[in-house]
Amino acid sequence: MLFDKTKTANLRTILFPILVVVLVLSQTVDGAGHQVTRVHDGDTLKVRGDSGEFTIRLVGIDAPEKSKKKREPGQPFSQKATEYLAGLVLNQSVDVKECGVDRYGRILGIVVLEGTDINQKMLKMGFAEVYRGKPVKGFDLAPYFDAEREAREAKKGIWGQGIEYVSPRDWRKGLSPVGWGRTKATP
């Protein structure tokens, strides 16, 4: 017999995890010098860097939802949030602090432009709320809640809707605002 099947199986068991780690590390986006090539919505964008093109989901925030169908309105402020984010970062060179990957394969990251945390700025301007789903392990949301509270108290952006406001999370579930008697606003 020219080869031993047990040794081949053991070699695969050892090499496969190493290959996966190498591929994941080669796909990292952490660091500086990523050109923003597209803004999908108020919390998702695409960047291009030396190691390729990546979709970034701004970690820790949840912006109003755009419609999935043409000619249907999205959630109130969805277009304004998208336009505001695009105005800040589109065609700009940004730093991305990678925090993981979401279930859709998007990189969860903090986008930084000239020292400014763009995720937090979206909250401060009232174009997003703090993400209320499962938090990213080790990610400190305290400054994000402070930024949201500041915008809420000033009634900026989405917070100017009062009781008619629906969180993006509830919008995705098809729930109505408090004023219609089906849900309550997030604290």
List residues with catalytic annotation.
57, 65, 106
- Produce one character per residue of 78-112: b if its CB has 16 or more CB atoms within 10 Å, e if not: bbbbbebbbebbeeeebbbebbeeeeeebbbbbbb
Query: What is the CA angle 42-48-53, rounded to 5?
Result: 90
Query: 74, exposed or middle or buried, with CB in 10 Å at 0-12, 13-18, 19+?
Result: middle
- Produce one character per residue of 8-35: b if its CB has 16 or more CB atoms within 10 Å, e if not: eeeeeeeeeeeeeeeeeeeeebeeeebe
